[in-house]
Amino acid sequence: MKDIKEEAIELGLKEARKLFGKQVERNKLTTEQMAEKLSNIRPTLSYGDFGHVDLVVEAVVENPKVKDAVLTEVEGLVDEKAILTSNTSTISINRLAENLKRPENFCGMHFFNPVHRMPLVEVIRGEKTSDAAVGATVAYARAMGKTPIVVNDCPGFLVNRVLFPYFGGFSLLVEQGADFQHVDKVMEKFGWPMGPAYLLDVVGMDTAVHANEVMAEGFPDRMARDGKTAIQVMYDNERLGQKNDKGFYAYEEDKKGKPKKVSDDAAYALVKQVVKEEKTFSDEEIIARMMVPLCLETVRCLEDDIVATPAEADMALIYGIGFPPFRGGALRYIDAMGVAAFVELADGLADELGPLYAPTDKLRDMAKSGDTFYAKSA
């Protein structure tokens, strides 16, 4: 574990001690195992013996210039067979590979927060990444106990590309008068571990605004927006979410020291700035407006070959963003509704809400021919 700041190293070790300590409390680890695991982490401020490493995960600040500098520096120090990976969530893997001498040994390795809880790791294949590099990174993720999924490079990769249209649906609902706490309750009842406003507080408004800009640039036709969204207003007013105890909700510490969300009038007052209508929505309408953009973007990722199979796409959504597992993922959800019924639902919404809700031509063909994403069981 290499950093440039002593405090950052200490913070990393403290976090590792805390997480292993919890496992000891739950009898999942013995104190001896904890000591062994901690001694396997070698904290350092210098590149020392990086010459012997097999695989590096770069996780420095999300700035392309800093990442370029760190990756090219590391590439010059490691063995020529070593694999370099980046934990970037928004920078193109092809773009980061441009300055490397051995782009075939480089790919993305994208973890999800909270990293010790979320099983998914996206392994992002760049245009020049070799199969051997992908294979080694997949094996490394598995050895960590993670569930890797291999995806091709695009803005947002697979998971964030699908998640941000869902947040887009949320912003539109709020602007048309939906109460964000009600939206959260409806989506939680639908099966999500947390509703979209709460999820945004956990992700952090700064991260969401930045990722949203990347998505809007990558897919302007459906993801670029005129005017401010509720997310932007939260960010402009320094309501970053759980990280500074205020976002769509305010956060207090519960008895165990964990953040507990409470309703906050100040958040409602800010959201009012973007509310343009005073519509009321049924639970069914809220679900449709939230789920259709997410499902359609999953369809596009499959059509664009970002992900290889419906099963992998659905698994990534369940393991990476907590898609209700009993619904089986976005493509399974479309199949369960019936492709034709889904297309009709989306078309109805697209008339009013625009391209975020417009089905693809291939999906229309599927609706006509009766095709499904998964083979129909006999």
Ligand X SMILES: NC(=O)c1ccc[n+]([C@@H]2O[C@H](COP(=O)([O-])OP(=O)(O)OC[C@H]3O[C@@H](n4cnc5c(N)ncnc54)[C@H](O)[C@@H]3O)[C@@H](O)[C@H]2O)c1
Backbone angles phi, psi at 164, to 5 degrees: -70, -35
Q: Exposure string (b/e) for 158-196, b if CB count within 10 Å is 16 or more? A: bbbbbbbbbbbbbbbbbbbebbbbbbbebbeeeebeebb
Nearer Cβ to ligand X, position 2 or 239? 2
Query: Candidates 36-44, 60-68, 167-175, 292-300 — which segment interacts with ligand X by CB under 6 A?
Result: 60-68
Q: Which amino acid is at 220?
A: P
* Contact set for ligand X, span 166-195 (CB under 6 A): none
Query: Candidates 82-90, 120-128, 311-319, 369-377 — which segment interacts with ligand X by CB under 6 A?
Result: 82-90
Nearer Cβ to ligand X, position 99 or 372? 99
Among 19, 24, 62, 283, interactor with ligand X by CB under 6 A: 62
Nearer Cβ to ligand X, position 217 or 305? 217
* Contact set for ligand X, span 104-123 (CB under 6 A): 111, 113
Nearer Cβ to ligand X, position 37 or 243? 243
* Contact set for ligand X, span 233-292 (CB under 6 A): none
Among 57, 60, 340, 350, interactor with ligand X by CB under 6 A: 60
Among 26, 52, 61, 375, interactor with ligand X by CB under 6 A: 61
Bond into 114 cis (ω within 30): yes
At its nearest, how many Å lie between ligand X and the CB of residue 171?
20
Regarding 8 and contact with ligand X (CB under 6 A), the answer is: yes
CB 324 within 8 A of CB 287: no
- x-marked contacts with ligand X along 201-240 as a string, rule CB under 6 A: ------x---------------------------------
At its nearest, how many Å lie between ligand X and the CB of residue 87?
4
At its nearest, how many Å lie between ligand X and the CB of residue 31?
28
Nearer Cβ to ligand X, position 163 or 267? 163
Write out the H or E segment, with its range, that includes residue 148: strand 147-152
Q: Which residue is nearest to ligand X (CB)?
A: 8
At its nearest, how many Å lie between ligand X and the CB of residue 44?
10
At its nearest, how many Å lie between ligand X and the CB of residue 332?
26
Nearer Cβ to ligand X, position 61 or 375? 61
Tell me the HSE value of 307 on the side-chain side, using a 13 A CA sphere: 25
CA distance 102 to 345: 48
CB 323 within 8 A of CB 295: no
Regarding 2 and contact with ligand X (CB under 6 A), the answer is: yes
Query: Candidates 55-63, 123-131, 242-250, 338-346 — which segment interacts with ligand X by CB under 6 A?
Result: 55-63
Residues designated catalytic: 110
CB 41 within 8 A of CB 13: yes
Nearer Cβ to ligand X, position 240 or 367? 240
Among 70, 234, 295, 306, interactor with ligand X by CB under 6 A: 70
Q: What is the DSSP letter of 113?
A: S
Regarding 45 and contact with ligand X (CB under 6 A), the answer is: no
Among 71, 83, 89, 246, interactor with ligand X by CB under 6 A: 89
CA distance 307 to 153: 10
Q: Contact residues for ligand X (CB under 6 A)?
A: 2-5, 8, 59-62, 66, 70, 87-89, 111, 113, 207
